[in-house]
Amino acid sequence: MRTDTLDTFWGHLEELARRLKVVLFTLVMSTVSLLIIPANLNFLQNIDDYEPWISVFLRSIRERVLPPEVKLIAIGIMDPIELYVTGSFIISVGITLPVLAYEVYKFVDPALYPNERKEVYPFVASVSTLFISGALFGFFVLFPFFVWSMFPFFTVVGAELVFSIMDFYSLLFLTVVSTAAIFTFPAFFVLLVKLGIIHTDTFRQNRKYLYIGLIGLAMLISPGSSPLGNLFLFVPMAILFEIGLFFGKRHEKKKTKHQPPLLYQNPQIERRS
Protein backbone atom coordinates (compact mmCIF):
# COMPACT_ATOMS: atom_id res chain seq x y z
CA MET A 1 0.00 0.00 0.00
CA ARG A 2 1.38 3.37 -0.98
CA THR A 3 2.07 6.01 1.63
CA ASP A 4 -0.45 8.49 0.21
CA THR A 5 -3.14 5.81 0.13
CA LEU A 6 -2.36 4.83 3.72
CA ASP A 7 -2.48 8.46 4.83
CA THR A 8 -5.84 8.88 3.13
CA PHE A 9 -7.17 5.76 4.85
CA TRP A 10 -6.09 6.93 8.29
CA GLY A 11 -7.44 10.39 7.55
CA HIS A 12 -10.89 8.97 6.76
CA LEU A 13 -10.71 6.76 9.85
CA GLU A 14 -9.88 9.73 12.06
CA GLU A 15 -12.72 11.76 10.57
CA LEU A 16 -15.14 8.87 11.16
CA ALA A 17 -13.98 8.55 14.78
CA ARG A 18 -14.42 12.29 15.28
CA ARG A 19 -17.96 12.23 13.96
CA LEU A 20 -18.87 9.18 16.01
CA LYS A 21 -17.61 10.98 19.10
CA VAL A 22 -20.09 13.77 18.38
CA VAL A 23 -22.90 11.21 18.15
CA LEU A 24 -21.81 9.47 21.36
CA PHE A 25 -21.45 12.79 23.19
CA THR A 26 -24.97 13.78 22.14
CA LEU A 27 -26.36 10.44 23.32
CA VAL A 28 -24.63 10.60 26.71
CA MET A 29 -25.46 14.24 27.36
CA SER A 30 -29.10 13.73 26.36
CA THR A 31 -29.42 10.77 28.72
CA VAL A 32 -27.79 12.59 31.62
CA SER A 33 -29.88 15.70 30.99
CA LEU A 34 -33.12 13.74 31.08
CA LEU A 35 -32.04 12.07 34.31
CA ILE A 36 -30.83 15.16 36.14
CA ILE A 37 -32.04 18.49 34.74
CA PRO A 38 -35.27 19.59 36.46
CA ALA A 39 -38.33 20.33 34.36
CA ASN A 40 -39.12 23.43 36.43
CA LEU A 41 -37.56 25.61 39.10
CA ASN A 42 -40.14 24.99 41.83
CA PHE A 43 -37.64 22.79 43.64
CA LEU A 44 -35.70 25.95 44.60
CA GLN A 45 -38.51 26.74 47.03
CA ASN A 46 -39.38 23.17 47.98
CA ILE A 47 -36.97 20.31 47.32
CA ASP A 48 -39.91 17.87 47.23
CA ASP A 49 -40.99 19.49 43.93
CA TYR A 50 -37.79 18.39 42.17
CA GLU A 51 -38.79 16.52 39.01
CA PRO A 52 -36.37 15.65 36.18
CA TRP A 53 -37.49 15.69 32.56
CA ILE A 54 -37.74 11.91 32.31
CA SER A 55 -40.30 11.94 35.11
CA VAL A 56 -42.40 14.44 33.16
CA PHE A 57 -42.26 12.30 30.01
CA LEU A 58 -43.19 9.10 31.83
CA ARG A 59 -46.04 10.78 33.70
CA SER A 60 -47.46 12.34 30.53
CA ILE A 61 -47.42 8.92 28.84
CA ARG A 62 -49.18 7.32 31.78
CA GLU A 63 -51.83 10.06 31.98
CA ARG A 64 -52.46 9.95 28.25
CA VAL A 65 -52.85 6.18 27.93
CA LEU A 66 -54.25 4.99 31.27
CA PRO A 67 -57.51 6.05 32.92
CA PRO A 68 -57.27 7.31 36.53
CA GLU A 69 -58.52 4.04 38.04
CA VAL A 70 -55.54 2.07 36.68
CA LYS A 71 -52.55 1.80 39.02
CA LEU A 72 -48.91 1.10 38.18
CA ILE A 73 -46.85 -0.70 40.81
CA ALA A 74 -43.17 -1.51 41.07
CA ILE A 75 -42.73 -5.24 41.72
CA GLY A 76 -38.93 -5.21 42.03
CA ILE A 77 -36.99 -2.87 44.27
CA MET A 78 -34.84 -1.75 41.32
CA ASP A 79 -37.75 -1.23 38.90
CA PRO A 80 -38.04 2.57 39.33
CA ILE A 81 -34.31 3.12 38.80
CA GLU A 82 -34.22 0.72 35.86
CA LEU A 83 -37.19 2.48 34.27
CA TYR A 84 -35.63 5.92 34.73
CA VAL A 85 -32.37 4.88 33.09
CA THR A 86 -33.94 2.80 30.30
CA GLY A 87 -36.53 5.43 29.47
CA SER A 88 -33.91 8.20 29.39
CA PHE A 89 -31.67 6.17 27.11
CA ILE A 90 -34.43 5.27 24.63
CA ILE A 91 -35.67 8.86 24.41
CA SER A 92 -32.05 10.01 23.99
CA VAL A 93 -31.64 7.60 21.07
CA GLY A 94 -34.54 9.34 19.35
CA ILE A 95 -32.94 12.74 20.07
CA THR A 96 -29.58 11.52 18.72
CA LEU A 97 -30.89 10.04 15.46
CA PRO A 98 -30.93 13.39 13.57
CA VAL A 99 -27.36 14.05 14.72
CA LEU A 100 -26.31 10.59 13.54
CA ALA A 101 -27.97 11.14 10.16
CA TYR A 102 -26.23 14.50 9.75
CA GLU A 103 -22.79 13.14 10.67
CA VAL A 104 -23.17 10.20 8.29
CA TYR A 105 -24.27 12.60 5.55
CA LYS A 106 -21.24 14.85 6.07
CA PHE A 107 -18.92 11.83 6.07
CA VAL A 108 -20.11 10.14 2.86
CA ASP A 109 -21.17 13.19 0.84
CA PRO A 110 -17.69 14.09 -0.53
CA ALA A 111 -17.21 10.55 -1.85
CA LEU A 112 -20.49 10.36 -3.79
CA TYR A 113 -20.92 11.07 -7.48
CA PRO A 114 -24.01 13.04 -8.56
CA ASN A 115 -25.77 9.90 -9.85
CA GLU A 116 -25.06 8.13 -6.54
CA ARG A 117 -26.55 11.01 -4.58
CA LYS A 118 -29.75 10.57 -6.60
CA GLU A 119 -30.00 7.03 -5.25
CA VAL A 120 -28.69 7.45 -1.69
CA TYR A 121 -30.53 10.57 -0.52
CA PRO A 122 -34.06 9.46 -1.52
CA PHE A 123 -33.41 6.16 0.26
CA VAL A 124 -32.21 7.90 3.44
CA ALA A 125 -35.14 10.32 3.32
CA SER A 126 -37.59 7.45 2.82
CA VAL A 127 -36.17 5.41 5.70
CA SER A 128 -36.20 8.43 8.03
CA THR A 129 -39.78 9.39 7.12
CA LEU A 130 -41.06 5.83 7.44
CA PHE A 131 -39.25 5.29 10.75
CA ILE A 132 -40.71 8.46 12.29
CA SER A 133 -44.18 7.63 10.93
CA GLY A 134 -43.97 4.15 12.42
CA ALA A 135 -42.87 5.47 15.80
CA LEU A 136 -45.76 7.97 15.87
CA PHE A 137 -48.24 5.30 14.80
CA GLY A 138 -46.96 2.92 17.48
CA PHE A 139 -47.11 5.57 20.20
CA PHE A 140 -50.37 7.36 19.43
CA VAL A 141 -52.44 4.54 17.92
CA LEU A 142 -51.09 1.04 18.39
CA PHE A 143 -49.88 1.09 21.99
CA PRO A 144 -53.05 2.70 23.45
CA PHE A 145 -55.12 0.17 21.52
CA PHE A 146 -53.07 -2.73 22.92
CA VAL A 147 -53.54 -1.48 26.48
CA TRP A 148 -57.24 -0.64 26.18
CA SER A 149 -57.99 -4.00 24.55
CA MET A 150 -56.81 -5.73 27.76
CA PHE A 151 -59.22 -3.91 30.09
CA PRO A 152 -62.29 -6.09 29.32
CA PHE A 153 -60.40 -9.23 30.34
CA PHE A 154 -59.67 -7.72 33.77
CA THR A 155 -63.41 -7.13 34.22
CA VAL A 156 -64.34 -10.64 33.06
CA VAL A 157 -62.08 -12.37 35.60
CA GLY A 158 -62.76 -9.82 38.34
CA ALA A 159 -59.16 -8.58 38.57
CA GLU A 160 -58.09 -5.14 39.74
CA LEU A 161 -56.70 -2.78 37.12
CA VAL A 162 -53.12 -2.91 38.44
CA PHE A 163 -50.16 -3.16 36.04
CA SER A 164 -46.49 -3.73 36.65
CA ILE A 165 -44.71 -0.48 35.85
CA MET A 166 -41.94 -2.31 33.99
CA ASP A 167 -44.41 -4.40 31.96
CA PHE A 168 -46.33 -1.28 30.97
CA TYR A 169 -43.36 0.77 29.78
CA SER A 170 -41.54 -2.25 28.31
CA LEU A 171 -44.57 -2.89 26.13
CA LEU A 172 -44.54 0.78 25.15
CA PHE A 173 -40.86 0.76 24.14
CA LEU A 174 -41.18 -2.56 22.31
CA THR A 175 -44.26 -1.43 20.41
CA VAL A 176 -42.84 1.93 19.33
CA VAL A 177 -39.40 0.65 18.29
CA SER A 178 -40.75 -2.46 16.54
CA THR A 179 -43.42 -0.54 14.67
CA ALA A 180 -40.90 2.10 13.59
CA ALA A 181 -38.55 -0.59 12.28
CA ILE A 182 -41.35 -2.44 10.45
CA PHE A 183 -42.49 0.76 8.73
CA THR A 184 -39.10 1.01 6.99
CA PHE A 185 -39.74 -2.27 5.13
CA PRO A 186 -40.85 -0.72 1.80
CA ALA A 187 -37.64 1.33 1.49
CA PHE A 188 -35.37 -1.67 2.06
CA PHE A 189 -37.52 -3.90 -0.14
CA VAL A 190 -37.26 -1.49 -3.08
CA LEU A 191 -33.50 -1.14 -2.47
CA LEU A 192 -33.03 -4.93 -2.69
CA VAL A 193 -35.08 -4.96 -5.89
CA LYS A 194 -32.90 -2.21 -7.38
CA LEU A 195 -29.77 -4.18 -6.51
CA GLY A 196 -31.21 -7.26 -8.22
CA ILE A 197 -31.04 -9.36 -5.03
CA ILE A 198 -34.77 -10.11 -4.94
CA HIS A 199 -37.58 -10.09 -7.52
CA THR A 200 -41.17 -9.09 -6.95
CA ASP A 201 -42.57 -12.10 -8.83
CA THR A 202 -41.28 -14.40 -6.08
CA PHE A 203 -43.21 -12.46 -3.44
CA ARG A 204 -46.32 -12.18 -5.60
CA GLN A 205 -46.49 -15.93 -6.11
CA ASN A 206 -46.01 -16.62 -2.38
CA ARG A 207 -48.16 -13.78 -1.04
CA LYS A 208 -50.40 -16.02 1.10
CA TYR A 209 -47.40 -17.54 2.92
CA LEU A 210 -45.98 -14.10 3.54
CA TYR A 211 -49.27 -12.97 5.06
CA ILE A 212 -49.17 -15.95 7.42
CA GLY A 213 -45.65 -14.89 8.42
CA LEU A 214 -46.84 -11.32 8.99
CA ILE A 215 -49.60 -12.58 11.28
CA GLY A 216 -46.99 -14.50 13.30
CA LEU A 217 -44.79 -11.41 13.44
CA ALA A 218 -47.73 -9.30 14.66
CA MET A 219 -48.39 -11.80 17.45
CA LEU A 220 -44.70 -11.80 18.37
CA ILE A 221 -44.48 -8.00 18.56
CA SER A 222 -47.66 -7.67 20.63
CA PRO A 223 -47.48 -10.54 23.14
CA GLY A 224 -50.53 -10.75 25.38
CA SER A 225 -52.62 -8.56 23.11
CA SER A 226 -56.08 -9.59 21.99
CA PRO A 227 -56.70 -11.09 18.52
CA LEU A 228 -58.23 -7.76 17.54
CA GLY A 229 -55.02 -6.00 18.60
CA ASN A 230 -52.94 -8.40 16.50
CA LEU A 231 -55.21 -7.70 13.55
CA PHE A 232 -54.82 -3.98 14.14
CA LEU A 233 -51.04 -4.41 13.73
CA PHE A 234 -51.28 -6.87 10.84
CA VAL A 235 -53.28 -4.51 8.63
CA PRO A 236 -50.62 -1.73 8.36
CA MET A 237 -47.92 -4.41 7.94
CA ALA A 238 -49.83 -5.89 5.00
CA ILE A 239 -50.33 -2.42 3.50
CA LEU A 240 -46.61 -1.67 3.83
CA PHE A 241 -45.80 -4.97 2.13
CA GLU A 242 -48.09 -4.13 -0.78
CA ILE A 243 -46.54 -0.64 -1.05
CA GLY A 244 -43.05 -2.12 -1.25
CA LEU A 245 -44.25 -4.64 -3.83
CA PHE A 246 -45.89 -1.91 -5.91
CA PHE A 247 -42.83 0.36 -6.07
CA GLY A 248 -40.50 -2.59 -6.56
CA LYS A 249 -42.55 -3.74 -9.54
CA ARG A 250 -42.52 -0.24 -10.99
CA HIS A 251 -38.73 -0.17 -10.80
CA GLU A 252 -38.48 -3.55 -12.53
CA LYS A 253 -40.71 -2.34 -15.36
CA LYS A 254 -38.72 0.87 -15.71
CA LYS A 255 -35.44 -1.07 -15.74
CA THR A 256 -36.75 -3.48 -18.40
CA LYS A 257 -38.04 -0.60 -20.52
CA HIS A 258 -34.67 1.19 -20.59
CA GLN A 259 -32.61 -1.98 -20.91
CA PRO A 260 -31.06 -2.27 -24.40
CA PRO A 261 -31.85 -5.37 -26.45
CA LEU A 262 -29.63 -8.37 -25.86
CA LEU A 263 -28.18 -7.99 -29.36
CA TYR A 264 -26.49 -4.73 -28.38
CA GLN A 265 -25.41 -5.81 -24.89
CA ASN A 266 -22.70 -8.05 -26.33
CA PRO A 267 -20.72 -6.41 -29.12
CA GLN A 268 -19.37 -9.81 -30.16
CA ILE A 269 -22.82 -10.94 -31.28
CA GLU A 270 -23.31 -10.12 -34.92
CA ARG A 271 -26.55 -9.28 -36.63
CA ARG A 272 -28.13 -12.10 -38.54
CA SER A 273 -29.72 -11.46 -41.86
What's the confidence (pLDDT) of residue 4? 57
pLDDT tens digit sequence for 182-216? 888 888 888 888 877 888 888 888 888 888 888 88
pLDDT tens digit sequence for 166-184? 989 988 988 888 888 888 8
- The contacts of residue 173 (CB under 8 Å, 6+ apart) are 86, 87, 90
pTM above 0.85, yes or no: no
- Closest by CA to 92, choosing from 133, 14, 37, is 37
Domain ranges of the chain: 1-111, 114-256
pLDDT tens digit sequence for 122-161? 888 888 888 899 899 889 988 888 888 888 888 888 888 8
Distances in Å between the alpha carbon of 245 and those of 106, 143, 211? 32, 27, 13
Rounded Cα distance, 205 and 195, in Å: 20
